[in-house]
Chains A and B, each alone.
Chain A
Amino acid sequence: GESVGLHLPTLSVQEGDNSIINCAYSNSASDYFIWYKQESGKGPQFIIDIRSNMDKRQGQRVTVLLNKTVKHLSLQIAATQPGDSAVYFCAENTPPTGRRALTFGSGTRLQVQP
């Protein structure tokens, strides 16, 4: 079946550097994408979202880029901090064709080195 996947299971960066977490999706019908952050022992926390009619969306220190041509999604974190250490999931929503839920990737662990 169609799925969302991630290129790198673990990303290690130095504090203060910028981080880029990548995600590939295979369902071209997906129209909404979300990045979640999950800290150890906690539930996923919403970071930022983007709809398929956009290429870029910025939040506070985070930017999501969407390339529909190659079905690629990325999360950029500026000036990465130790508190950013977590597992990051991308998720996609496909317009109702019987399923009304998000499809999650397997996650990327971000480790921030002080």
Chain B
Amino acid sequence: NAGVTQTPKFQVLKTGQSMTLQCAQDMNHEYMSWYRQDPGMGLRLIHYSVGAGITDQGEVPNGYNVSRSTTEDFPLRLLSAAPSQTSVYFCASSYNAGGETQYFGPGTRLLVL
């Protein structure tokens, strides 16, 4: 199994541009989530999904959209990038949301100019 994969690894955007961060897992996990990590801070939840077709907001959802059309994929979309969205983004998955261990991808480093 590849586990949780994320693309791209690094991206530079200009303010106002849009992009999609890709996340995929091959472990047949129902639960997937997106976190952002800023310097000196822990991970903060952006959006999560408890199964295909179901998504919900986390702690810091503003400026981000998600969809879950398949069990494997959970893309994160930035419709109009802002410098405040400069961060490292991690996707995670787990078998379910009931306190099970979450497995993280390698991250996408995003710089918004």
Contacts and interface: CB of A to CB of B under 8 A. Distances in A.
Interface in A23-55: 31-32, 34, 36, 41-46, 49, 51
Given A32-B99, A43-B90, A101 B104 contact: no
A31 B100 CA distance: 11
A9 to B, nearest CB: 8
B112 interface: no
A94 B22 CA distance: 28
A89 B43 contact: yes
Contacts, number: 56
Nearest to B90: A43
A104 B50 contact: no
Nearest to A94: B99
Interface string A87-114: 0010101011001111011110000000
A106 B50 CA distance: 25
Interface residues of B, number: 26
Interface string B89-113: 0101000010101111111000000
For chain A, the bracket of interface size reads 20 to 34
Contacts of A100: 31, 48, 50, 56, 97
A44 B59 CA distance: 19
A95 B99 CA distance: 8
A105 B103 contact: no
Given A4-B42, A34-B101, A104-B42, 4 more contacts: A44-B104, A51-B99, A101-B48, A102-B43
17 contacts: A4-B42, A41-B107, A42-B107, A43-B4, A43-B90, A43-B106, A43-B107, A44-B43, A51-B99, A89-B43, A99-B58, A101-B33, A101-B59, A104-B35, A104-B43, A104-B44, A106-B42
